[in-house]
Amino acid sequence: MLLPPDGILGKDKRHAVAMTLLGHALFLEGRWDTLSCDKPASSSGKEVMSFYEKAMGQRSPNLEPLQYLRLCRLYLWTGKFYEAKDVAIKACKLLPSASSWLALGLACYKQNELGQAEEALCEANILDPSNPQVWGMLSVIAMEAGKPDESELALQQALKLGLSTSETFPVGTFILEQMARLQVKAGIFSLASSTLRRALETSNRAALHLLLAQTCLGENDLPAAAEACRQVLEHEVQPSEAERKDALTQLVAIYKRLKQPALVDKYSHMLKKVGAVAE
């Protein structure tokens, strides 16, 4: 970014407060505050991160809690989990909050440091026992640790408190989606189905519909599995080519099992068209 010579940073390139404010302006301009797994960022965030990093790295740094949390958000989204952990630790020391401890928990979880992640989330839970995202991540970690009963209790609390797909620190996969995948892996299909239906109340993501189809197949509910796959083909969902192909492949297999040749032919024809486009 070209800075105007008559601006604060044009006159003093080490003005930490000005760097922070410019970082905030770019953060909002890039709509990083509305970021979610359904709404990818329009930019890489490098420029925003650069100004925050410079503001915090000056000899007289600007120690503003909000910039730490926003930098954590950027680091977590872009996969810089080591850097996110470092900044989250500093945020927790500067001004401990449920959000700063949640950011630390997520960074540790993404680095497979489950013990540290659980400790951070417990600290967050102490500061705000009504935070659904904290309960949701505690449920995920309990499931990872092979404690399904404990995981289910934490999930029940998260859902009771309103856990949805709106998250403070999006990391590419919704907390509810992470939980459902672990439940499917463990063969707990009915619970996975409930988890996914909650996620679908606030998101129309194709991956959620496909995972719901998988859970329905696990419960041997073929009509429900077919409906979940059909949802992927709706225009509002905007699936990738791979997701569209996956849905059509499953529909062909499902209707073969249901002995409905007309629908088998319909979706087989659509699948061939998808294959032709891909070639």
pLDDT of residue 2: 40
**DSSP type of residue 33:** G
Q: Are 9 and 15 in contact (CB under 8 A)?
A: yes
pLDDT band at 14 (very low <50, low <70, confident <90, very high): low
Place of tokens 């100004």: 51
Taking a C-beta distance cutoff of 8 angstroms, is the pair 33, 42 a contact? no
Confidence band, pLDDT 50/70/90 cuts, at residue 277 = very low
Run of H or E residues at 85: helix 81-94
What pairs with residue 39 in β-bridges?
Answer: 36
Q: Is 84 left (phi over 0), alpha (psi -120 to 50) or beta?
A: alpha
Span 8-24, average pLDDT: 70
CA distance 269 to 279: 16
> What is the per-residue pLDDT across 233-273, written as a single tens digit (0 to 9) for each?
986 778 889 999 999 999 999 999 999 999 999 999 999 98
Mean pLDDT of 146-166: 95
Quick: pLDDT tens for 133-155: 999 999 999 999 999 999 999 99
User: 24-38, 51-65, 140-154: which has the highest mean pLDDT?
Assistant: 140-154
Count CB-CB contacts under 10 A for residue 108. 24
First to last CA, the chain: 41
Rounded to an integer, the average pLDDT of 71-75 is: 93
Confidence at 5, pLDDT banded by 50, 70, 90: very low
Percent of the chain with pLDDT over 90: 68
> For 83-99, what is each residue's pLDDT tens digit?
999 999 999 999 999 99
Q: How confident is the model at residue 13 (pLDDT cuts 50, 70, 90)?
A: low
Q: The dihedral of CA 164, 33, 208, 236: what is its sign?
A: positive
Q: In this predicted structure, what is the pLDDT of residue 41?
A: 64
Average pLDDT over residues 214-225: 96
Separation between Cα atoms, residue 94 and residue 63, nearest integer Å: 8
Model confidence at 131, pLDDT cuts 50, 70, 90, reads very high
Q: What is the 3-class SS of 103-166, one letter each residue?
A: HHHHHHHHCCCHHHHHHHHHHHHHHCCCCHHHHHHHHHHHHHCCCHHHHHHHHHHHHHCCCCCC
- Tell me what the mean pLDDT of segment 103-107 comes to: 97
pLDDT at 99: 96
pTM: 0.87
How much is the pLDDT for 225?
97
177-191 average pLDDT score: 95
Over 70: is that where the pLDDT of 193 sits?
yes
* Number of neighbouring beta carbons within 10 Å of residue 170: 22
Tokens read off for 115: 């013990």
